[in-house]
A and B are shown apart, each in its own frame.
Chain A
């Protein structure tokens, strides 16, 4: 079960805009991510996306995220967290992976 408090955060790669749509080409993976976000929203899951150039504070707020960025630099990105816990580093997760993490959190809590 997904609770109302479920919260997904994506710490993105450096991009011109959060969807990656304003660049000269549009990477299909970014469209997939966009769609995943919409699906999760549809299930009542809040998804936040952060760009380092615009919301650097977000990268500092989560200690594990900040540690990964300092250690691996850009190779760490994108990072995805579910309820503050890092679930994927260096690549975007699939919807199934996010849902599994959400379900895990639901079952555990």
Chain B
């Protein structure tokens, strides 16, 4: 069967999952056997379809031709681990099996296993593909790119290793020759426009445009060409009768022209609806807008979620404020306590405004006299755009605010630096050139980037120079793996200690260093883990789910930020009111769900860019005092 593969890509939070699901419903309604798969570690397919799905191909209720699956990286690695351990379990003593188990619990295994499962759908190894359309609701941009780049990196990696030591990060070459052929076929398929379509979903805003351009360029480098855009969240033009939305419409208009200019691709526009995109009926309605009749100019009152006039009456500013925290409650969790420094983590799905919030917070802290270092580990970092000053790989003071420094941790750059450091050390120890060469090859592994980025993180976290470290962390799934690393690593170190009689000096130093950072992350006096989300169903559920992960490694949640909260005083129209009511309900839900303060960051009629806006928003959110 000639299967069509459709990839949905784009920054998280732009409505990628909704568009992918609407597309899936559209194809299934046309009578095509359709499968929608997500590789997003923080998947929300189940929320959109309002049924449980999980790590298996699951029929979607109410549609005879639609199935869905959420690739769970943890479960994929458990399966991978079981396969790898089966022969060992049968033959070796318990102590050995236990160590093997721990060995195979590392971050590298997780990445490998999830990707392996994903490729299985692209390449059925000659068996007939039961689906006519396979839709991938892929993970946020940075992570997507890494996933897509992996097959190319890996086949190269495998080839090099075959000529060298015969060992790779993935296992001995002999056992993965089969996989190499599989990865090669997967990449060939991704490059074939007759079989594969890449759909980029973006909103008409600066950062998403930039990220889409970057993503398209990266894909072109891999020989994969993009085919289509969906521009989501376009405010219906008639809503300009509301002054606040009128300003937002003008802002969007500038970006819509920019998209036409800079991304001349087939594009569809999707209006910002005043109701949630959830459930098959609503998805059908969206599919109609996308693939059927011309999209209606106004989304107002369309679809099954009409709002009565009684509800409209409740639309008052006071209903917004109930669940929210006072600024001083929040500020207490941001500033250093008991003479210790503090680390702030801003986590959340990509695109919910982690970078903006990190910048607002860092600028506010610096302006209140705290020496603050702002860091990003997002591979698609745009922190410099928000600050209005370039941010490099090294720590630099910002020009326009005292007490504020910034740097980005680019995993590739970090990996290079890490490699250089390791090789220099070896050179100083007098290692011969051929040994250095062998080391260099070994360090060219996909795992080195992850390790190196984390190494930098620890390096900054161990410095005493700053009062506060603000981390604009990478999108959720990636962040979680990064944050779980120290725990994994200290376990790995223990394995090493357990296995070898002598504790080398380097190991002892590393163990102390990781231990310190883990202790710090677990101590609410010294770290605050803040989740940023939109006050909308899916992002809230995702944030709540993702927040369980740090708790499971003993890192408590400190704060939840509801970003882009509509200012109630601007409410003058029904459409605005419906959006506001949607938000109020979700803010209430957040208050009940999270057992920590909820901070509201208001939506502005202009963008959060440049030092003046950051300062303005900081005062709005955190107040003027030190709290």
Query: Which residues on A are within 8 Å of B, measured CB to CB?
Result: 13-19, 21-29, 31, 34-35, 38, 42, 49, 52-57, 59-60, 69-70, 73-74, 77, 90
Contact = CB atoms under 8 A, between A and B. Distances in A.
Interface string B86-129: 01100111011001100110101000000000000000000000
B447 A22 contact: yes
Contacts of A31: 426, 429, 431, 435, 439
Contacts of B93: 69-70, 73
Given A16-B106, A74-B499, A23 B435 contact: no
Nearest to B89: A56
B99 A17 contact: no
Nearest to B175: A54
Nearest to B425: A26
Nearest to B490: A24
Contacts of A23: 492, 496
Given A19-B165, A70-B93, 9 more contacts: A19-B438, A21-B442, A22-B169, A27-B496, A27-B507, A34-B435, A38-B435, A53-B88, A90-B501
B167 interface: yes
> Is the contact region of chain B dominated by helix, strand, or loop, or is it mixed?
helix
A74 B498 contact: yes
Interface size class of B (residues with CB under 8 A): 35 or more
B439 A24 contact: no
A15 B106 CA distance: 11
Contacts of A34: 435, 438-439
B413 interface: no
Contact of B92 (A16, A24, A27, A52): A52
A44 B159 CA distance: 24
B490 to A, nearest CB: 9
Given A28-B506, A34-B439, A70 B445 contact: no
Contact of A22 (B429, B451, B499): B451
A29 B505 CA distance: 12
Interface of B: 84, 87-88, 91-93, 95-96, 99-100, 103-104, 106, 108, 165, 167, 169, 171-172, 175, 422, 425-426, 429, 431-432, 434-435, 438-439, 442-443, 445, 447-448, 451, 455, 489, 492-493, 495-496, 498-501, 504, 506-507, 509-510, 514
A95 B258 CA distance: 66
Given A16-B108, A53-B100, A26 B506 contact: yes
Given A14-B103, A69-B93, A53 B84 contact: yes
Contacts of A21: 422, 439, 442-443
A15 to B, nearest CB: 8
A74 B97 CA distance: 10
A45 to B, nearest CB: 15
A38 B425 CA distance: 19
Contacts of B434: 38, 42
> Is the contact region of chain A dominated by helix, strand, or loop, or is it mixed?
loop
Contacts of A56: 87-88, 91-92
A19 B108 contact: no
Nearest to A29: B504
Given A24-B492, A25-B507, A28-B504, A14 B443 contact: no
Contact of A14 (B169, B495, B509): B495
Contact of B95 (A49, A55, A73, A90): A73
Given A25-B507, A28-B506, A16 B492 contact: yes
B495 A35 contact: no
Contact of B443 (A22, A38, A42, A60): A22
A104 B56 CA distance: 59
A59 B87 CA distance: 12
Contacts of A15: 496
A35 B432 contact: yes
17 contacts: A21-B443, A22-B451, A24-B493, A25-B510, A26-B426, A27-B506, A28-B504, A31-B439, A35-B431, A52-B100, A53-B100, A56-B88, A56-B92, A70-B92, A74-B96, A74-B99, A90-B501
A54 B103 CA distance: 11
B493 to A, nearest CB: 7
Contacts of A60: 91
A13 B499 contact: yes
Contacts of B84: 53
A52 B439 CA distance: 21
Given A35-B435, A52-B96, A54-B171, A24 B514 contact: yes
Contacts of B509: 25
Contacts of A90: 501
Contacts of B429: 28, 31
Contacts of B510: 24-25
B456 to A, nearest CB: 13
A60 B100 CA distance: 16
Contacts of B99: 14, 74
Contacts of A13: 496, 499-500
